[in-house]
Amino acid sequence: MPHTAIEQVLSPGRFSTYRNAVITSKGSDCPSTALNLYEWNAELSGQLLFPLHIYEVVLRNTISEAISQRYGPDWPTNTVFQNSLPRKERSDLLSLVTPYQGLGKVLPELKLYWFESMLTRRHDGRIWKPYIHSVFPNAGGSSAIAATALRSQLNTQCRTIRKLRNRIAHHEPIFNQPTLASILPYIQTAVGFRCATTLSWLNSREQVSPLLSRPVV
């Protein structure tokens, strides 16, 4: 395998992350193992796209349902809701409702960070304490304290998932991320809170677990 040519095309700077990881793990440089690690990282990034896809669609639809219970099915145009948002989130939403073409057009255009922001404590009183257990029916419990803890858990996990997803989108290494092993369980947790059948389907199709069980370093 012409490792040198591949390294030059990918750039020595990029490839050095993988070579250094091999050196740290094995105690010596091995370009062929570094290339195997590069391939494994790329394959894992690709296999994570399916769980990430399901997670993001499930999360945004679930959060939309919760907002709808408070502000109605056309909540993007509700001025009371708009005014409850931080400046950036409000600006992002307003840019998508002029003209308003329906909720189905708005949801896919809102970024994951926007939905992450909806899982902050500023929305506890209006949305999460009253409605979180109706939209995440498998999470258990119904008290205000449980609702706040559940919302906080989902927010923290969403932030972790989003950061790794962004690394994948920019073709950055993920094999060396300390949160890597948590990503699939976090996705499974949120999807399972929403729908056990969807979680079962996700688990039957994901190919992340087999790859994680065969690390290169």
The C-alpha atoms of residue 85 and residue 79 are separated, in whole angstroms, by 10
Establish if 12 belongs to a structural domain: no
pLDDT attached to residue 23: 95
Q: pLDDT under 70 in the chain at which residues?
A: 1-2, 141-144
Establish if 30 belongs to a structural domain: no
Global pTM reads: 0.94
pLDDT attached to residue 141: 59
CA dihedral 151, 157, 163, 164 (to 10 degrees): -150
pLDDT attached to residue 4: 83
pLDDT attached to residue 108: 96
pLDDT attached to residue 7: 87
Establish if 97 belongs to a structural domain: yes
pLDDT digits (tens, 9 = 90+) for 125-153: 999 999 999 999 999 755 657 999 999 99
Establish if 185 belongs to a structural domain: yes
Establish if 21 belongs to a structural domain: no
**What size, in residues, is the chain?**
217
Establish if 145 belongs to a structural domain: yes
Establish if 29 belongs to a structural domain: no
The C-alpha atoms of residue 118 and residue 63 are separated, in whole angstroms, by 8
pLDDT attached to residue 143: 60
Do the beta carbons of residue 211 and residue 47 sit within 8 Å? yes
Q: φ and ψ at 3, to 5 degrees? A: -60, -40
Please choose, from the candidates 47, 18, 12, 21, the residue with its C-alpha nearest in 3D space to the C-alpha of residue 35. 18
CB atoms within 10 A of CB 174: 18
Number of domains in the chain: 1
Taking the chain, what is the end-to-end CA distance rounded to the nearest angstrom? Answer: 20
Residues of the domain holding 113: 45-212
Establish if 57 belongs to a structural domain: yes
pLDDT attached to residue 111: 97
